Amino acid sequence: MALKKSQLTIGATHSERVIENLARTQLVMYAGTSGDYNPLHTDDLYTKEIAGYPGVFAHGMLTMGLTGKMLTNYVGDGRLKKFGVRFTNQVWPGDSLDSTATVAAIREESGEWVVDLTISTTNQDGKEVVSGTATARIDA
């Protein structure tokens, strides 16, 4: 299910709702698989009383992983060459996130065709939580 060069146009977009009503348990699952057990993500008491935040919030890498789901659904499995993001705002339990990829360029790189994408993930209030770029191999 790879993208084809002939089917892509600059400015074309692909969007997905990547999480609905983010559960605290999802943060626990992510801590368990990633190995990042920072209490900021699973321990409300510590996060409120010691760290000074309103409560636990998502690992940046969970938001990147959710964004990556949109990306691989769009470009196909094993097609990514680059994927990079900045974490611009925190993601909280109860958030619903939408991720969008926009075609920025279609070009040749080391003998194969690639697409450059700009990426944005926003929450239910339209606030951007992740911004980034990706490059993926496409079919000629």
Partner 1 sequence: MAKITFPVEASHIMMFARSVDDPNPVYHDAEAAAKTEVGGIIAPPTFPQSVAQFDPDYFLRPKHGQKWFGSAKGPTGITEKPASSGGLHAEQHFEYHRPLRPGDVLSVETKAGTTWEKESKRAGKLVFSERITEYRDQHGELVCTARSVGVRTEKPVAQS
Of 105, 107, 87, 112, which Cα lies nearest the Cα of 97?
Answer: 87
Stretch that binds partner 1, among 5-13, 74-82, 100-108, 113-121 (CB under 8 A): 74-82
77-112 burial, b at 16+ Cβ within 10 Å, e below that, comes to: eebbeebebebbbbbbbebebbbbbebbebeeeeee
Q: Is 91 in the site for partner 1 (CB under 8 A)?
A: no
Structure tokens at 128: 């951007």
Nearer of residues 7 and 33 to partner 1, judged by Cβ: 33
**Residue among 3, 74, 85, 129 that touches partner 1 (CB under 8 A):** 85
Q: How many residues does the chain have?
A: 140
Stretch that binds partner 1, among 6-14, 31-39, 105-113, 116-124 (CB under 8 A): 31-39
Close Cβ partners of 84 (under 8 Å, ≥ 6 residues apart): 132, 133, 134
Q: Is 100 in the site for partner 1 (CB under 8 A)?
A: no
Q: Is 94 in the site for partner 1 (CB under 8 A)?
A: no
Of 117, 120, 114, which Cα lies nearest the Cα of 104?
Answer: 117
Q: Is 39 in the site for partner 1 (CB under 8 A)?
A: yes
Stretch that binds partner 1, among 3-11, 29-37, 98-106, 108-116 (CB under 8 A): 29-37
Interface residue list for partner 1 (CB under 8 A)? 1-2, 18-19, 26, 29-30, 32-40, 42-43, 45-46, 48-54, 59-62, 64-66, 68-69, 71-73, 76-78, 80-87, 90
